Chains A and B, each alone.
Chain A
Amino acid sequence: MFEALGNAIRQEQEKLKRIQSWIREFYKLIEKKDLLPQPFTEGHLVHEIPTTMSDITHVAGIDGGIVSEAMTGFDLALYRAVSAVFTGIGKEVKAEYIPHFDPEPQIFFSPSLPSRQEFNRICTLMRLYAEYEVAKLTIERSKVAVIFIDGKVSPLSSDFSKESQSRLIIQAERDVKRIYNELIQVAFDKKVLLCGVVKDSRSREVTKALGSVIPNLTKSEGWDLEFMKMWPYHLGDLQDAVFADTILQQGQRTSWVELSKPSWMERDDIFLQTTLIKILSSDEPLRLEVLSETDADYVDGSKRIALAALNILTNHGMPLALPTVILEADERTKLSSAHLDEIIDQISLTLGIPREQLRKRRHFHSSLSNL
């Protein structure tokens, strides 16, 4: 069995090597072009990431944590989100926390949901709501220029169910959309750049974008058509992170690529862009998404701040390529099963029902803090 497995892996490795070799050749060709067309918003594919920023600039990292358990007859979850606002980045970091250094978790309680999937879905929605609410609060309370959200910058259409049967979920989805729209509005009003930092991204948006421009590029002089014929094979199914990891050196990023906005968003003045950045050689590139107002004058400056902050704060020497501003927020939001046990104990004491009995019927316990 292991021999067959080894062979399969070896084949995949060899395939990857071939693809990487092709990508490097392709990159040499593409770098000779003066201008990459839309959806790329910059001429060249690879750029250096800024290494300095003003130490008085405020940058926030937001993360949420949740811990949940399906009990006998009811479902219970604790969740909270924290924003860590850094100044003095690159010199001596000072942090403030919104709403607090250690906020009380909020409690979600409902009669048992029909399925575990629905319960997980509602947990995700609550966590998102808490994160966006804290992001909005951060913009209102501090002089923040850039906000980093752990994960994608906005909910995807797939985050919202198309055929949800639970009124609870429908309501939660509405709440998330409402708070996110409020967040966008306050961010635009205060000229704050909303960013999403995606680790281990499986997206293919950059490679897709390249695929869309390659037919035009091949019309240029000096391109080897035989070589370029291979692009659907090499780029067609390739994740952005693998592509970027092959062409980027440490301290470099790919060109900004414009993204289409999720279908659930009703506003037309939204401009979404993404780039892949390689800060640590020991980890795959991070995907940075930014959401801004279309044609806003502050966006270029804010993007520079975001890139510099990410560069400085991720260069911590540890293999995990995540900025410390998000690690800090993550540390403040962590919830453990001990938090849940306390609440269950109190319920148990109030009702006079042993804790074990409350946990009897649907005995699963899931920590969703990393969702």
Chain B
Amino acid sequence: MAGIPGLGTVVATQESPTPLIFHFVISEESARVTAETGTFVQATIDDELVLGVIQSLRRSNRYYSSPDIIHGSSQGSSVPSIYPADRWDYLIAKVRVLGSFRNKLQQRSTRPVLPGSQVFLVDTAILEKFLGLSKIGLSIGQVRQSPIEASVDLDRLLKKHLAILSISGGGKSYATSVIIEELLRRHPSQGRPALILFDVHGEYRHLSSLNKHPDFREIDVQRISAQQLAMSVSYLKAGDFSRFFPSMSYAQQRELSVVLSQLQNQNKGLTVESIIDAVYNREMNQLVKDALLGWLGQLRSSYLFGNAEFPSVSEDLEPGKLIIIDMSEFTSLWKKRIILHYFLSRIFELRRIKEIPPVVSFIEEAHQFAPEQETSSAKSIIHTIAREGRKFLCSLVLISQRPVNLSTTALSQCNSHLILRILNPHDLTYIGKTSEGINSDTLGMLTSLGVGEGLLVGEAVNYPVFIQIRRKLVNAEFDEVSLGSESRKYEKLVQ
């Protein structure tokens, strides 16, 4: 243990030590400063090295825990003037055992540490190995209470999808930006997936100026505004229409399917108008026709579809390139869902036949697109990619501030979770149920996380690890505007 600072001594309590938990007393002032919740510690049992994380800390002082003494000091002398209160100040740390090393093999801990054992800070090399961090991974920050860089393996983090969960203002978009920066600055030799980001609130505009930063000179970021966005109706199938209009009957869908195949056989540029004409001219039940014309009219007036596609999924999605679909100008959730459905369906289809590179799709406000309770045109494709995307290297990053409203199917398929600050008790309970490796103590710590602090759990790491998200390399052009400063502008206008 030479060189590793000692922290304290294991104590025997009624509940510990067990193979899963132990408590230790921290007496030394220097150790009291070092130890925090989340600090990784180690102790030994013979030739076995047991690693754990401080789950909670309790400070104790017998002179301040006795009501008699406090009451007495209010009538006589003050406590510090007659008692050596500082000598009785100590910490009791509760440690959750993560696992152990024996014969250089990482394994589940099966023996309790011995009472009286010394507890030390974990050796960083051992901790890196233990947590399953990668030297050439995505460096998203620093492991909290340690000097270790939180460098996460690309495949482990994203291949089986990632969920980023937090309250509004908890740092979701910040963490997402950091992950995107890391993905974009990978060297081509390391492999770079194509990235597409569905930006619901226009929070990622600053990424358009990413190439002003020296690390991203060669990086191509394409931001697509509402005016530029175009989707080709020729890629739609009757099933897609029925997702856009969930009330569409089977008969209507069948007739529409026939019309679409006839038009596609004519090899003409397909538009909503041409479909409307074809439906209008085709003989069918008048009720079916009227309904179809109604649906299609609604689609035409959305101005979402034309006969071309922009950005082109087949041509614009390139390795190491980011496409931002800025949906902030759309107020209609129906339209946003259609856009998401369209592009995700196209990406998945082309990825299945390997016409495009591996893609990572970032979906902001994922609970709006794949809600747990409601129907949504985008839910089906999100479920499909969540279930099957891993096989085709088509990954999702679901970002949500209301995990409880996010589809269980989608969330459960995200094998890694980056959980930032969560306050809502329903969301906390839900996260506790859906995120593996989180116990009630860890869950409680989520409420006290600061902005920029997060808990990474699941496939990405061997054990849940608290991370201080690193600073973004490129900052947003605008900081979050304060209510007061924005109101002052209008005061001046009125005057």
- Chain A residues with CB under 8 Å of chain B are 84, 86, 88-95, 97, 101, 312-313, 315-318, 324, 328, 331
Contact = CB atoms under 8 A, between A and B. Distances in A.
B84 A86 contact: yes
A315 B76 contact: yes
B77 A316 contact: yes
Nearest to B72: A317
Contacts of A317: 71-77
7 A-B pairs closest in CB distance = A317-B72, A95-B84, A317-B76, A317-B75, A315-B76, A318-B72, A316-B72
A348 to B, nearest CB: 18
Contact of A93 (B69, B74, B81): B81
Contact of A324 (B62, B71, B82): B82
Contacts of A91: 81
Nearest to A102: B27
Given A93-B82, A93-B84, 20 more contacts: A84-B84, A86-B84, A89-B81, A89-B82, A90-B82, A93-B80, A312-B77, A312-B81, A313-B82, A315-B82, A316-B69, A316-B73, A316-B76, A316-B77, A317-B71, A317-B72, A317-B75, A318-B68, A318-B71, A328-B83
Contact of B83 (A97, A101, A324): A324
Contacts of A92: 80-81
* Most interface-central of A316, A318, A331 (chain B CB within 10 A): A316
B68 A312 contact: no
B81 A331 contact: no
B108 interface: no
Interface string B262-302: 00000000000000000000000000000000000000000
Contacts of A328: 83-84
A94 B81 contact: no
Contacts of A101: 87
Nearest to A280: B76
A94 B86 contact: yes
Interface string B459-487: 00000000000000000000000000000
B101 to A, nearest CB: 29
Nearest to B27: A101
A315 B75 CA distance: 9
A84 B88 CA distance: 13
Contacts of B87: 95, 97, 101
Interface in B76-110: 76-77, 80-87
10 contacts: A90-B81, A90-B82, A93-B84, A97-B87, A316-B73, A317-B73, A317-B75, A317-B76, A318-B69, A328-B84
B68 A315 contact: no
B82 A316 contact: yes
Contacts of B73: 316-317
A89 B78 CA distance: 11
Contacts of B86: 94
A317 B87 CA distance: 21
A344 B77 CA distance: 43
Interface in B49-73: 62, 68-69, 71-73
A331 B62 contact: yes
A101 B75 CA distance: 29
A92 B62 CA distance: 17
Nearest to B77: A315
A169 to B, nearest CB: 35
Contacts of A90: 77, 81-82
Contacts of A88: 81
Contacts of B62: 331
A116 to B, nearest CB: 32
Interface string B321-336: 0000000000000000
Contacts of B69: 316, 318
Nearest to B88: A331
A26 to B, nearest CB: 31
Contacts of B75: 317
Nearest to B75: A317
Nearest to A309: B82
A324 B62 CA distance: 13
Nearest to A318: B72
Contacts of A93: 80-85
Nearest to A85: B84
B280 to A, nearest CB: 92
